[in-house]
Structure 1
Amino acid sequence: MKKSTYFYEAPDSIYNSSVHENLEDTLRENDLLSISVSSVNKEAAAMFNTSNQVGANTAMVSGVLGQASGYLVDRHGNIRFPILGEIEVIGKTKQELRDHITTMLTDKKLLLEPIVDVRVLNFRVSVLGEVLRPNSFIVPSEKISVLEALSLAGDITIYGNKERVSLIREVGDNKILQHLDLTSSEILSSPYFYLKSNDVIYVEPRPSKVAESSVVRPWIPVVLSAISLAVITIVNFN
């Protein structure tokens, strides 16, 4: 039961993960951004809401393929925004980019009291291995926990190893590999409980399934053939 149950024998308690949850990610190359601008003058703000028509195939949470358009961060870390031209966004948080665009619109006297909203359209996580429906999922809310990601993939199968779930995360030019134990309550206060864009979850198979697949299963036809031959021999002999 311990190996197949989430949070086995975990006591009722409060697990604090707010410190890790509130750390906002910085924007990266190939992020697809939705940037909307509003103002008291709707006609003047309309010219800033014509996004770059960059299409991207996305597997939505429902599993349906769709088209997303927005501002694609290029390999130099920039986007091209109407009127304002090229804006460097890489390394900024969404809040910092909102403040930067708001300041540019105000300083250039292009809009009165502008309100800028920034969202990441291709916030994606992937779930592989011993789950019911392995897939990549776009997360419109830009917030998802490892448990929610597993639920989107149909949960871990009976053959999955909940004590050894691998998380692969990109940090700059590096990749982090972290093993998670979902039978322990410590995951609830872990900095890896909430996923980041482009995180990959891999659920390892149990050793018993690996042994069954690699040793037992190939011998099944041989054993059945031997039994059949023995039965035929005994019948003919009698």
Structure 2
Amino acid sequence: MAGLVYATARAFVLDGFNKKFLEIQRINPSCATYLVDVGFSHWTKVHFMGKRYNIMDNNIAESWNQVLKEAREYPLIYMLEYIRTMVMEWFTVQRTRAARSSSVIAPKCHEIMEENFESAMAMAVRPISDFEFQVQIRSGECFTVKLVEGSCSCNEFQSLSIPCAHVITAANRLGVSIDTFVDVAYFEETIRHSYEENIYPVPSVGGNSTVGTASGTRGDLNPPFTRRPPGRPKKIRILSRGEFKVKLCSH
């Protein structure tokens, strides 16, 4: 069921989504009802109105929750410094990797294109016009590629901005470099610019130093007047909307 939901969420065309979702309804109606209640636009590519690319994530906060598992016990200032140092190291690692790369396209994008290139070798291509082609796969299904418009009837090219196997087949027939169809967001140069800024340590502040307040006057920076809730602080994170605890059966 997990694999079926995964495939349904990543369907690029409506027909493919409908076939997979009907299969979910047949196998597990309660799961289908749950997915309908969530809303198709929240978990599927084909119903999402914006650009989801190839990323399907619940919430960026979930990733940070995992990263900050150790720092969660620290006092606030130390936790912020932990985050700053970690991000600083991440920027350094990514900047070094990008500087060493001699490729025009980013590594992950290059891997996807290599997989698509292997699939393209088994496809037949026929010209419709100068820059439009019919690409047929082994099963007999045909796709229409319009290179000037940057589209393919499979919708994968438009969704990911990375040449699908059908576009690669058409580009090879025309003798055009495949890299020209990759969005600039996947260029190594773009990644270098993403990490070119430096993250510096926060200067230490003296014992009686003062800082500007919101009103523009100067005064001591004191903690806010809040009442600490009773009991020990909770260590278990609060579940996001739609999440629920699953009890594991012991054998």
TM-score (norm 2): 0.22
More helix by share: 2
Between structures 1 and 2, the one with greater strand share: 1
Larger RCO: Structure 1 or Structure 2 (Cα < 8 Å, ≥ 6 residues apart)? 1
